[in-house]
Amino acid sequence: MKAIKLLVVVLLFFIFCNQTQSQPFIYFDKTISDSAFHRFAKICKLDLSTGNVTDFIPEKYDPFIISDPDWNYLLVEQRNMPPELYNTSDSSSSYLVEDFFNVSVDEMLYSPTQNTLFFLTDGYRYIERFNIQNHTFFNRLKLGKSVSFNSWMEPTRNAFFSTDKNKIYISVIDSNDVEQVWTYSISTHQIIEKRNLSTLSGHQGALGYNLCFGRNGIGLIEAYPPYTPNRNYYFNIYNFGSNSAQTQIANTGECEAYFNGNGEFTIIAGMTYYNQNDSIDYYSNGTFKIYNSSTGQLVKTNTLPPRGVIYTFDNYPNDIYYVLNLDTQPEIYNLTKLELHQLSPAVALTSPFGSRQEFSFNVTAYGGLFTDSSVAYFNGQAKPTSKINDTTVSFTLSNTDIASTGNYPIWISNYGSYSDTLNFSVTYSLQNSLSPTFQCVRRNPDKSYTAYFGYNNNNSYDVFIPTGVNNRFSPSPEFRGQANVFISGNHQNVFTVNFNGDNLTWYLAGQSITVNKNSSSCP
Distance CA(34)–CA(29), nearest Å, equals 13
* φ/ψ (deg, to 5) at 102: 65, 25
pTM reported for the whole predicted model: 0.88
Residues 171-181 have a mean pLDDT of: 95
Distance CA(182)–CA(165), nearest Å, equals 15
Residue 92 has what pLDDT?
87
Average pLDDT, rounded, for the chain: 91
CA gyration radius, the chain: 30
Distance CA(80)–CA(86), nearest Å, equals 19
Residue 21 has what pLDDT?
44
Contacts by 270-275 with C-beta closer than 8 Å and gap 24+? 271/152, 272/306
Distance CA(340)–CA(418), nearest Å, equals 10
Distance CA(336)–CA(33), nearest Å, equals 36
Residue 276 has what pLDDT?
59
- For 134-160, write each residue's pLDDT tens digit: 999 988 999 999 888 887 899 999 999
Tell me which amino acid residue 372 is: D
Residue 402 has what pLDDT?
95
476 pLDDT band (50/70/90 cuts)? very high
* Contact (Cβ atoms closer than 8 angstroms) between residue 7 and residue 308: no
Question: In terms of Cα–Cα distance, which of 322, 282, 280, 326 is closest to 305?
Answer: 322
> How many helices and strands in the chain, by DSSP H and E?
1, 46
Residue 1 has what pLDDT?
31
- Is the model's pLDDT at 8 over the cut of 50? no
- Is the model's pLDDT at 215 over the cut of 70? yes
Distance CA(450)–CA(500), nearest Å, equals 9
Distance CA(344)–CA(461), nearest Å, equals 8
Distance CA(396)–CA(392), nearest Å, equals 14
In 3-state terms, what secondary structure has residue 203? coil
- Is the model's pLDDT at 181 over the cut of 70? yes
Residue 138 has what pLDDT?
87
Distances, alpha carbon 131 to alpha carbons 81, 102, 116, 128, in Å: 21, 21, 5, 10
